[in-house]
Amino acid sequence: MRRNRNISNIIGGGPALDLVSTVERFVYRTPIDRNEELHFEELDQDLLQYALDAEQISENTALHKVLSDLAYIDFYLYLYDDLDWVSEYTDFSEYAITMFKHMNITVPREFNRKSAEGIIEARDLHRDLFLSGLQTFVNSAFAHLWYRKAFLHDFNVRLAEKIAPLLKSDFPCLEQDGRLARAQHFNKWVRDLILNREGGLCHYCSQPVAIPSLPNQTYDIDHMVPIARGGTNDPTNLVLSCSKCNNKKRAKVQSVPDTFAWPERT
């Protein structure tokens, strides 16, 4: 299975930005219609397992899993598998061609067919290729969201809502009621990603903590949503912290809003 170490991947637009908008609506519970509301309810049920899986630090984060589910629904089920939306079958072939181009996949020549039978055959022939290409949008959407820590915090609040009410008697994987075990070790890949995202600055006070280009430094990795509040060890819940802020925060939830600085326009 291909791993999702995708901060180094190309950040694209188009369908990836549509996917970002969809996951925002899921996290903030603002579906655009009844169909999306129903899909969000189904995905919310899966969120419990994704939260439990996040006891272990993995490159395939809970956010990757949610993005993958949403991409499958929006881009495959609604628009590739189901053709009820097309007035002409060439509408579907144009959609498939556009999507393959966004995936950076060579467009299969079968999609140049004009007959309905030929286009349907092309769809069936290249289902697996299309499904594999959806990972391009998942990777790109994740790369957009990795730098939006306020969103990541709110996403992890959704995960914590699943963990906090659980009883250890029902879920033996818990360390205690409503709490996963805290990670005792952070692999180099996750420490490097967090250090570079933060630019060596504390997430909470913005004071220098480390220099990204130097090895063997001492710094704290903190959970935005604390383990004691149902937080997980998912990489999306981890930030760089100085010792002072980490000790001060402890089991309190404290976040920094997304900000964007730009010179005053004249």
pLDDT band at 220 (very low <50, low <70, confident <90, very high): confident
Hey, what are 158's tokens?
């959704």
Q: Residue 4: pLDDT above 80?
A: no
Number of residues that this document lists for the chain: 266
> What residue type is assigned to position 123 of the chain?
R
- Token readout for 191 is 């420490």
Q: Between the CA of residue 178 and those of 155, 160, 185, 221, 235, what are the distances in Å?
A: 18, 9, 21, 22, 19
Query: How many CB atoms neighbour CB 86 within 10 A?
Result: 16
Residue 141's SS3 state is helix
Residue 117's closest CA among 77, 83, 79, 75? 83
User: Does the structure show a pLDDT above 50 at 205?
Assistant: yes
Nearest Cα to Cα of residue 146 among 155, 136, 158, 133? 155
Q: Which stretches of the chain are assigned E, i.e. beta strand?
A: 220-223, 238-241
- For the segment 182-203, the average pLDDT, to the nearest whole number, is 91
Cα 127 from chain centroid (whole Å): 23
With vertex at residue 15, the alpha carbon angle to CA 9 and CA 19, rounded to the nearest 5 degrees, is: 85
pLDDT in tens, 97-148: 999 999 999 999 999 999 999 999 999 999 999 999 999 999 999 999 999 9
